[in-house]
Structure 1
């Protein structure tokens, strides 16, 4: 994992509702500006203008646009919780459906704005908060998947811990790549192939 960039440390953590609302407006404005103008042209001046605040006010919260993008990534990752993991059918013969639910959940978490997702992947630097969020989310996701594998009767892998890590990494990495460029392959084709590959691996098919 990359090291944290100290330049990205936010300057002000809101302690009052009004300050939190202002910070939220900056982040919302930045998401729109980056998606509309791209990252290079998505300047802090444009973000401040879109948020209807002065550039000085923006700099009270964030030192630069890299810090803003890092915070947008933190929020993006924190939204990606798998709330329905405990509701899946784990009866014999349901493994493909279970894997499909995992893949679709990852895809649904990245559908909102392909342009912004592409910018996050290509341009984001890593704040300490972002690194901590990635680690926390990854451990939680891997733990959920490992629990599913341990309880499903059709799973036959040599090491549950390694299998869970592999599946989460494979699904997340490929989903990021696809949803950032929907022209690359049809979503339905991607879903079917990723589900088939993962299911065969988990069943121990030769």
Structure 2
């Protein structure tokens, strides 16, 4: 239990350090100091800052599971609300700290564990969205599996880009435009 608490303290400290100083200046010494542990203790849990950042990214990905699927109203006329729930969930999952998100997106080392997490998460999210598309009476797509993949990629990539970098327009505008675009696609609007 104590080991897990120390590990979490390191990750929390690292998130603050990376957000505040960036990846290059976010040294293990700064992380250990912020976590109030010795550098030797930090190295008992993580071999380097790459491993710490990779773990932060894995945790970020694991938190990003669409939680609304069981409570959605899938009756005719609710497609826009369904799409909005998906997009709002993505925005909420990426709104904690834009500077840390930017560091994770731009600097995280690619490991097999990260690739496995991305693949596992992608399969789960795709299955969730595909299930909603198949059950919703207003959806008019040729292949729900492909549509789910396209929607997830579009939402995730655009949300990452928007939330990680300052924009000249409010998040509500971003959300409304993305909802409109995806809703039109799913309805088969020309």
TM-score band, normalised by shorter chain = over 0.9
1:45 corresponds to which of 20, 29, 33: 29
Secondary structure of the residue aligned to 2:75 is coil
CA RMSD after TM alignment: 1.0
Tell me the equivalent position of 2:167. Answer: 183
1:58 correspondence with 2:42: yes
Secondary structure of the residue aligned to 2:25 is coil
The structure with more helix, counted as a fraction of residues: 2
Tell me the equivalent position of 2:16. Answer: 32
On the 8 A contact 1:178/1:185 being kept in 2, the answer is: no
Tell me the equivalent position of 1:108. Answer: 92
Per mean C-alpha deviation after superposition, the further-off stretch among 182-191 and 111-120 is: 182-191
Q: Distance in 1 between matches of 2:173 and 2:29?
A: 41
Deviations for 1:148-179, whole angstroms, at most 9, x for unmatched residues? 00000110111111000000110011001111
Q: Unmatched 5+ residue regions in structure 2?
A: none
Deviations for 1:74-96, whole angstroms, at most 9, x for unmatched residues? 11111112222111111111111
Q: Distance in 2 between matches of 1:190 and 1:94?
A: 20
TM superposition shift of 1:185: 3.2
TM-score, L = length of structure 1: 0.90
1:152 correspondence with 2:136: yes
TM superposition shift of 1:183: 2.3
Aligned length: 190
Q: Unmatched 5+ residue regions in structure 1?
A: 1-16
